[in-house]
Amino acid sequence: MRKISWVIICVGFFLGLLAFGGTALAADPIKVGIVDSYSGPPSTYTNDVKDGFKLAIDKINAGGGVLGRQITFVTRDDKFKVDLGLSAAKELVMREKVDLLMGTINSAVALAISDFAKKEKVPFLATYSKTANLTGSKGHKYVFSMNENTEMAGKAAAVGLAKLPYVNYWIAGDDYEYGHAIADGVWNNLKKLKPDVKLLGQSWWKVGEPDFTPYITSILSAKPDAVIIATGGAGCVPFLKAAKATGFNEKSPFFMHTSTELSTLRPLGVDAPEGVIGTSNYYFYFPETPENKAFVEEFQKAYGRYPSFGSLIGWFTGQFIAKAYEKAGKVDPEKFAEALSGMTIDSPIGKLTIRAEDNQVMLPMFMGKTKKKDGFDFLIATDIVTIPAADLMPLVEDIKKAREKEK
């Protein structure tokens, strides 16, 4: 009896050796390490990024992969914390030997990983953080931003708002980096485009403020022409609820950057307030091009839901990676970074380019107003105006100056 089990162990060991040897013979896959916040509220966005990315690379792999190699990925949860995110990035590079890093929704984590990527010379494709510093003052050769940033969002909103007849504004938002950055971005650019605008006052609430009613009533008593709301993530839904309950949208027009995004409007159902002005980088129903329709159909087939902007980010990040390796001709971090910088691809929202000067992807912005529509059980954006990427990118001189200052 004992002999037999020894035999089994030996055979098993031998088979194991064979299996290992077998994989070593085939070309190693290209390994992408994703660090992102997969627990807690941010996972609404991060899972969309991951699913969009998987959709893209599955198709690429089915077609033979890149340079004859498959693309694989591993994920790590940073739990929205800098230390965890940074150690996960280190672990992925040192132990998992990933070829490049991807992630994360937390701006502070993204900046920390970017710093690490610079030292280790590992390409880092930041997917959902919105800090302008990433490709601005703290930019370098190996970091790429796959998302808009607060400066771009602010500039786009200013371009849109300058066309509207409002003069007296009120600003209100989350009292942390994102809120202030968005508000400053909108306001500074709006003042440049339309010098006669006036700021009546500001309100700032803590992140995670549960009830916005007192803020809205106090803003209404100041009677501004329009209000700029600088809240993001978890604040959007309750703010819109309070806006609906108080009739804020009917009494005073207001702008809120992500208010027309799918991840904000879907949970509210048909109860969202109408007429809210918002900007978004992507609507699954706009532009109505065959490319966008094909992408929406493909995503829906794979996951049974509409793609959000996060899904699109994941998808085009996958496309960029594949194309950059193809252009580089081999899996080499430096060659990859050089190939990716300045690269253009086709996407559901038209051609997308990574600007060579700062490695920032050039995304157009869409400004629309919320409205009920037949056939949807949530509100969608209508009267959509496209603000081309060229109008909202940060100026190259400003970036150069900021980087010089950083040194």
Partner 1 sequence: MEIAANITLSALAQQFLVGLSRTTILFIVSSGLSLVLGVLRIPNVAHGSLYMLGAFLCYSISLFFGGGSTGFWMALVLAPLCVALISLAVERGLFCHLYDREHLMLLLFTFSFMLLFKDLVKLVWGSDYRSLSAPEILQGSFSVLGMPFPRYNLFLLVLGPLVALGLWFLTNKTKIGKIARAAAVDREMVAAVGINVSWVFAAVFVIGCFLAGLGGALVAPTQNITQGMDHTLIMETFLIVIIGGLGNIWGALLGALIFGLTDSMGVLIWPQFAIVFPYVAVVIVLMFRPKGLLKATW
Q: What is d(CA 160, CA 182) in angstroms, rounded to the nearest whole number?
A: 14
Minimum CB distance to partner 1, residue 176 (Å)? 11
Site string for partner 1, 198-227 (x = CB under 8 A): -xxxxxxxx-xxxx-xxx-xxxxxxx----
* Least distance in angstroms from the C-beta of 239 to partner 1: 9
- Asked if 36 and 88 count as a contact pair (C-beta separation under 8 A), the reply is no
Q: In this chain, which of 29, 44, 59, 82 binds partner 1, going by CB under 8 A? A: 44
Q: Which stretch binds partner 1 (CB under 8 A): 39-47, 180-188, 336-344, 348-356?
A: 39-47
In single-letter form, the type of residue at position 348 comes to P
* DSSP-assigned states of every residue in 144-175: EE-S--HHHHHHHHHHHHHTS---EEEEEEES
Nearer to partner 1, 96 or 271 (CB): 271
Nearer to partner 1, 45 or 53 (CB): 45
User: What single-letter amino acid sits at 7?
Assistant: V
Q: Work out how close the CB of 211 gets to partner 1 at its nearest, in angstroms, rounded to a whole number.
A: 6
**Dist. CA 118–CA 141, nearest whole Å:** 8
Closest approach of partner 1 to the CB of residue 34, in Å:
17
Concatenate the DSSP letters of all residues of 50-119 into one string: HHHHHHHHHHHHHTT-BTTB-EEEEEEE-TT-HHHHHHHHHHHHHTS--SEEEE-S-HHHHHHHHHHHHH
Please tell me the distance from the alpha carbon of residue 203 to that of residue 121, in angstroms, as a whole number.
43
Candidate list 10, 15, 39, 94; residue touching partner 1; CB under 8 A = 39
Beta carbon nearer to partner 1, 16 or 208 = 208
Read off the amino acid at residue 345: I
Within positions 169 to 198, which residues make up the interface with partner 1, using CB under 8 A?
172, 175
- Among 12, 17, 26, 40, the residue binding partner 1 under the rule CB under 8 A is 40
Q: Which is nearer to partner 1, 102 or 219 (CB)?
A: 219
Question: Is residue 16 part of the contact set for partner 1 (CB under 8 A)?
Answer: no
* Partner residues linked to 380 by β-bridges: 371
Give the shortest CB-376-to-partner 1 separation in angstroms.
15
Q: Which of 247, 289, 326, 383 binds partner 1 (CB under 8 A)?
A: 247
State which residue, 133 or 203, has the beta carbon closest to partner 1: 203
Distance, in Å, from the CA atom of 183 to the CA atom of 171, rounded to the nearest integer, reads 7
Interaction with partner 1 in 260-299: which residues (CB under 8 A)? 263, 267-269, 271
Tally of residues, the chain: 407
* Residues numbered 226-245 forming contacts with partner 1, rule: CB under 8 A: 234-235, 237-238, 241-242, 244-245
Residue 8 Cα to chain centre, angstroms: 51
Q: Which is nearer to partner 1, 206 or 400 (CB)?
A: 206
- Cβ 299 to partner 1 shortest distance, Å: 17
Contacts of partner 1 in 54-93 (CB under 8 A): none
- Residue closer to partner 1 (CB basis): 234 or 362: 234
Q: Closest distance between partner 1 and the C-beta of residue 43, in Å?
A: 4
Cβ closest to partner 1, residue 16 vs residue 214: 214
Q: Spell 5-16 as b/e; 16+ CB within 10 A means b.
A: eeeeeeeeeeee
DSSP H helical ranges for 329-375: 333-340
Distance CA 282, CA 288 (A): 12
| Integer angstrom CA distances of residue 146 from 24, 273, 294, 314 | 33, 30, 21, 9
- Which residue matches tokens 């013979």? 25
**CA–CA dist 34, 77 (Å, integer):** 9
Site size with partner 1, rule: CB under 8 A: 47
Alpha-carbon distance of 117 to 68, in angstroms, equals 26
Smaller CB separation from partner 1, 214 or 329? 214
Restricted to residues 308-367, the positions that interact with partner 1 (CB under 8 A) are none
Q: Which is nearer to partner 1, 267 or 350 (CB)?
A: 267
Binding stretches for partner 1 (CB under 8 A): 39-41, 43-44, 47, 172, 175, 199-206, 208-211, 213-215, 217-223, 234-235, 237-238, 241-242, 244-248, 251, 263, 267-269, 271
